Structures are given as structure tokens and as C-alpha cells.
Structure 1
Amino acid sequence: MGSILAIIREALPPKSTFKVDDVPDLAGKVIIITGANAGVGKETAKVLVARDAKVYIAGRSQERVEQAIQDIKTETGNEALFLKLDLADLTSIKAAAEEFQRKETRLDILYNNAGVMAPPVADVTAQGYDLQFGTNTLGHFYFTKLLLPTLLATAKASPNGTARVINVSSAAHHWHNGSIDFNTLKDGPARKKKYSLMLYGQSKIGNILFSNELFRRYADEGIISTSIHPGNLRSDLYRNMSRIENFIVGLLLYPSAMGALTLLWAGTTDEGLTLGGKYLIPWARVGTPKASTQDPILAKELWTWMEEQVQNL
């Protein structure tokens, strides 16, 4: 019952009290946002660039990202930068982090925004992980881990002693039973028996667990990590769903620009500095995630598993 009420609360948000106009000047800030060639990521990047931040849009398709960069420049007069990143390939993630660190010595905000939803169950990452968990959760974990020295150095040098990591989850985590079935995270018989949307929900559970554990481990060194359900938004995230599923979901969709509000609130405002370890919901509110996402034992177990997957890369 609690999950149903939470889903309703997140699906039918009140009018936002936070506005794009509330985003402060961001001159001097360096920001990465993954998957910002479309949807909520692009809308978020547009505002960040307009506030004079130096924004790297990290994505797999250079053509699509460069088109987004051009669109943003046309609207704002300012230009974002391309960072090649394929979250479904751990070697690409390492290359992207190294490329960024060759160019920059600071990183004020990392938006782990990219995601894939409901692909065919047969689809896996380059290293054989479930495509949704490998991209949405493990990929962002590894990217963050590699960038953590830069985030920590930035926090130490910043006037307020912080750097932020914003992890995009979803209300879909409520659909899942709340546990992590480690037998389904790599390709195999157990994973193939799962419905794709359930695997998606599991990846979104993983986003919250990771976000909370990151905050537990590094809050005292200035890392503010939050997880966010940006809203039920019109985007290409639903491209792999069936016509019926798309019809049902489409009944409660909002413009992508609305979804950017919560990401901007968490990432740019003074109030956002108080939101470490929290789960945020539309529009710019603190929400209540599934109880299992607050389990420090499960979060530590997932963190340890993810560390093991990338330790020899």
C-alpha cells in the first residue's frame, strides 16, 4: 500500500515552488551530465549552460550530442562540450574519465542522468551484464568511482567544501520487490526469466542504494550525493516499450523541461547542499523511497559487488 501511495504522490505532483529563474549564476563551475542529448538531460544542460557553467555532455553518439550542443547554443548563445561515453562498455567509461581528467582539474557537479529502459531481455552490455543494470547502475558507479578523486579535490578547494553527485532514479523502483537479485545482473538463465521492466526497476533500486552509500562513505569529505525521480516525462526513454505500455504510461506524462526542475534544485541551490542521502521527487520535493533502499547492509553488499566487477580494469 505504501508503494502505491508513493507512486501516486510522485505521479501527481503539486505546482512547483522552485523555478528555473531560481538557478544561480554558475560561472566557474564544471559539470558533467550523462545522456543529455535529449529529454530531461538536455533540458537540464540548457539551463546550466545558460547560467555560464562549463558543461560536458557525455554520450555515446557524437552526432546526437553535437546536435544537442548546437540546439542549446541556438537557444542560449553558450556552448556545451562533448565527452564520448558509452555506459554499456566499461572500457569506454574508463577512457571517458581519463579524457575528462586530461582536460579538467575540477568537477563541481556530476549528473548521472543517462538510462535505458525496457530493451529486449536478450540485450547485454559489452562485458555481458544486464543492459539496464550495466548501463544505469554499474556504468554510473564506475564512472563516478573514476571521477571521485576530481570530485574530492574540488570539494576540498571549494568555498563551501562540497561537490555534488546527482543520481537519476525513477518511481519505477517502487514496482520492484526491493531486493537485488545478484544472479540476474550478468547474463544467464535467471536473468532471461525476468520481465524487462522488472529488471529496469531493479536498476533504479540500485541507483538509490549507490547514491546513499556514496553519501555515507564520503559525506565527511564534502560529497553531496542525492537520488532523484525527475517525473513521468515525455522522452525517448519509452521507445522499447510495447504500444499498450506506452499508452498507459503516456496518460501521465509531463514535458521534459518540468523534470529538469528537481535536478537543478538538487544540483545548484544552497538548499541542495542539505539533501545528501535523500530521494527527491517532482517537483523539487523530498520523497519517500522504498524502504529497502535505505538498508545500509544491502547498499554495502551492492557496492562491494560493483567494486569487484571493475577492480581489474
Structure 2
Amino acid sequence: MTGFFTYRNFSLHDTPPLDGRVALITASAGNRIVAHSRDSEITAQLLRYGIEKVFVVARNKNKYMDSKEEWRRRAHITLGKNDSRVEFIKCDLTDILSVQGAARQVKLKTERLHIVICNAGQAVSSQYHRSPQNVESVFAANCLGHHILVILLLSLLRETVRTTSSEARVVVASSSMHQLCRKLDLDLLTLPTNPKPALYDGIWRYGRSKLGDILFTKELSRRLLQAGDTSSKRIYVNAFFPGNIVTEQWNAWNAFLGKLIGSMLRKVFSVIGQSVQDGAATAVYLAASKEVKERDIRGQYFVPIAKPKTASAIANDMELARDLWNWIDAKATETLGSNWQHETDEDRLDKSPRAM
């Protein structure tokens, strides 16, 4: 999917007013959160259309501060220097304890949460690393961390729906590269070393993480629909591919292809790929458009812009989706304990957020 095939099913100008809503977006650590990034553009659009509060969950506060200065200069956005409409929460998505700490902070800072946008992620990498809990780091950041964060925030989403007249949204960034992963062997997620050639393995591991994002989206949507409470059924969960947007993360191709070819690749896709505005538009559509509720859009995968598309066959394997869900639940239980999904307000107040 390139810019030549960008569908125009939604425009950022169609974003409805977001007054009174509270959102959370995860932002990538390896990508400068500035004007040319998707993280910044999504947040800018939420601010432009009147969001009451945005929590930006990321590893690097300096990059967040750069973004905040850029948002203040944007037309149609009124944001004072110490404006509390945006707030940074430090979090390393590869670390389960850090994710728990971030979720606790959010719950202590707000009683409402309408929108969660799982946008952060590690790019294709030639380096093989594992998380503090010994999970391959790209999968830990892109899939496992977001899964645990959303589950820890589900009670807040449900309570928001229950006490207001609005619904809630969970939006998960995936990629067309999920199609490159044709098999998901859960045992491979904790291998101590990389057994494959760097180029093949780096691309495959990234695709695997994005497959995991779609499987999570579909399984969470299924579970919410089958839950007994009405509030769960008013939480809409969908995944999206933002498009081929040339950002700082594309420099990773230099390690695989060399600087010359990597530079040529970036130049080509800067012409035929999507803009940051196009890349943000599908996320904003799924987070805010009235169509999602009116058309009962759940557990679907979208490509730019706001176009539903059938994901790969394995991404629609609901048995695999349940297996992955249970695997992540077990991994979280090892670290956080058996009651990790149902932490009470009293538990949060008694335990200060873990070091992140």
C-alpha cells in the first residue's frame, strides 16, 4: 500500500469536536516526536478539535517537550506554555513493570478515559535484544506492552462509558508488513539469541509484532462483545496501517541495505508514500469519527485513509489470537502477580508507581 493507492474515505477536517474527552497516546522513543512524525500529528489533531486532556506515554521527555513547542506554534491550537491539556508520562513499553507504573499514574491523574491510541513502536532493526522480562524487544514494545497497558486501563475505560453518554475507543497501530509473518511460534518470542540472518530476521520480527497487534485487536474486541456488562460493548477496538511514511525510523534500513540504497529508498517513499497527515488520519478516524459507532465497526483492520481491509489469513486465526492472549497473560502474571488485571484503587494508592 503506497501513496498511489491512498483511499480518501475520511479527512482530518471531518473530525468532530472532542470537547470533554480524555485521550492517551503512546509515542515512539526512536522517532523524534516533532512536526514530521505521526505521534505529533495525531496529538496535534486531538488538540485542534478540542480534546480536554491528552496523556503522552513515551520514554523520552525531551522529545515530548520539542513536540509541545511545535504544537504551541500550530495554527488552530491554543496551548499555553504550562498548559495541562497535554501531560507526559514516562514509560518503557518493553518493560512490564514500567507499563504497570504508567497505567497507575494515569488512573491516579484522571477519572475518565475515552480514547487509547497504541501508536508507539520499535522499527525494523538488525539488532537482537530482549526485554527485562526476556521477550524479544520489538515484540515486547509493539505488542506485549500495548496489550498489558490496555488491559490495565480497561476498568477506567469501562467506568468512563458507564458514567457518561459516550463510548470509548482503542486504536492499535499495525502494518502491512504483518503479512510477512505466516507462522507465529510463541516459543520463539523468548529465544536468547537471533538464529537467522539479520536482514531477514529484522523484517520478520517486525512483521511478527504487527501480526500480534491485529490478533490482540480482534481478541480484545471479541471479549468485550461477549462480556456481560453493557459498558464493555460500548468500547470499540480497531487496528490500522498508517501507511509508508518516511520518518527517522527509516534510517534503520541503512544497516540492512547500506547508506546509499537506504537513502534512495527514503527518497522514493517520500514521493510515493503517505504524508504524516494521511498517516494520522486513519487513527483519528477510528478514535473520533461517529461512523465507528453508527456502523458498529469492531475488530477491523484499516489502511489509509479509513479503508477497511482484510488482514492476512493468520491475522484472522481466532484460536491463535486466544493462544497469544493467554501467553501474554501468563507472562504478565509472572511479573505482576495473579491479580494484575484487576488491581483496585486501594492497591494503586498503596503502591507507588514502579521506577520507569
TM-score norm. by structure 1 comes to: 0.91
1:81 pairs with 2:87: yes
Query: Any idea what the Cα deviations from partners look like across 1:33-75, whole Å, max 9, x if unmatched?
Result: 0016241121010010111211111110111112112211221
Preserved CA contact (<8 Å) 1:227 1:280: yes
CA distance in 2, matches of 1:307, 1:246: 41
Alignment-derived partner of residue 248 in structure 1 = 265
Distance 1:111 1:192 in 2: 33
C-alpha distance in 1, partners of 2:262/2:186? 27
Shift in CA distance, 247/181, structure 1 to aligned 2, threshold 3 Å: farther
Which stretches of structure 1, 4 residues or more, deviate above 6 A after TM superposition?
Answer: none
Question: How big is each residue's C-alpha offset from its partner over 1:230-279, in whole Å with a ceiling of 9 and x where there is no partner?
Answer: 11112122232224356336523222111111111111011122221110
What are the superposed Cα offsets for residues 196-238 of structure 1, whole Å, 9 maximum, x if unpaired? 1100000000000000000000135122110100111121222
Structure with the larger RCO, 1 or 2 (CA within 8 Å, 6+ apart): 2
The answer to whether 1:107 aligns with 2:118 is no
Q: Distance in 1 between matches of 2:267 and 2:187?
A: 32
Q: Which amino acid aligns with 2:169?
A: R
Tell me the equivalent position of 1:305: 327
Identity %: 27
Change (3 A) 1:247 1:175: farther
Aligned residue-pair number = 302
Structure 1 CA distance for aligned equivalents of residues 170 and 7 of structure 2: 26
Spell out the pairing of 1:151-190 with structure 2 (5 A cutoff): 151-160=157-166, 162-177=167-182, 179-189=183-193
1:246/1:132 Cα in 2 relative to 1: closer, same or farther (>3 Å)? farther
C-alpha contact (below 8 Å) 1:117/1:197 kept by paired residues: no
Partner of 1:66: 65
Q: Partner residue of 1:33?
A: 25
Structure index of larger Rg: 2
| Pairwise CA distance, 1:83 | 1.3
**Amino acid in the other structure paired with 1:77:** T
Q: Is the 8 A contact 2:246 2:266 kept in 1?
A: no
Does structure 2 conserve the Cα–Cα contact (< 8 Å) formed by 1:110 and 1:164?
A: yes
Deviation at 1:21, TM superposition (A): 1.3
- Give 1:227's aligned residue: 239
TM-score after normalising by structure 2: 0.80
Partner of 1:3: none
Please give the alpha-carbon distance, in whole angstroms, between the structure 2 residues aligned to 1:126 and 1:192: 20
Corresponding residue for 2:350?
Answer: none
